[in-house]
Structure 1
Amino acid sequence: MATLVLDVDTSRRRLVDLTDDVQQFCSGRGDGLCNVFVPHATAGVAIIETGSDDDLVDTLERLLPRDDRYRHSHGSPGHGADHVLPGIVSPSATLPVQGGKVLLGTWQSVVLVDLNRDNPRRSVRLSFISA
């Protein structure tokens, strides 16, 4: 299994497009599966249509308001919402790869979702398993 860990800065954006990094990692590897995984309790990976970033963030903020309703209450106000996020946006996605090319749809992108303002440094592990 081939692996690569990306270091991602989320201090200026809540969604970070990983599509080019994933494609570059898979290029030349033939057929198989690529797993994209964030080993964090407050972030996730989504496959979304390019251009839907703001809609996804707005929807998640409506679903997970940043207030004092959460029992998990350390960190910044509303940080408990960050810990609920991976229950809605999975911390991983597995993508089919054929001939070294990730088989995404025309408008699909792989994005890191991170609404947490307490930790702007994220690791993303890419793993490739050959067919």
Structure 2
Amino acid sequence: MDTLDMLIFYSFNLGIFTLIFFIAGLIKPKWPLFFMKEPTRFTVVIITTVMIMVVMTMYGEGNRKIRAEQARLERSKMVGTSQEPETPSPSEVKPKKTKPKKQAAPEDEIPQFDSVQDAIKAFEERQ
């Protein structure tokens, strides 16, 4: 039996046990709860409720794992690879070496003036 199906298999087994526990506990609570001095039907109902939650969780997790495994197998069939993980391989073509673009130096931004008087006029216009 596949390990993924085990959760579903055990959830059905535990579900059958829960049903038998519930029926026997409602008929005579002393039978399933033989270790208690005075068991009540309410105790049987509480234990049954918890066991039903466990059964539903096991069944849901089993189904989720099966769906995830099927999706993984579908992906591996589409890619055409085996169970090996995908690893990127470097390309055979080496990239061309390009020179970095020349950035404007601060000297290029400094305005050039013919005389000191032109520089003073430009300075006064900026203010």
**TM-score, normalising length: structure 1:** 0.22
Q: Select the structure of larger CA radius of gyration.
A: 2
Q: Which has the higher strand share?
A: 1
**TM-score, normalising length: structure 2:** 0.22
Q: Which has the higher contact order (CA 8 A, sep 6+)?
A: 1
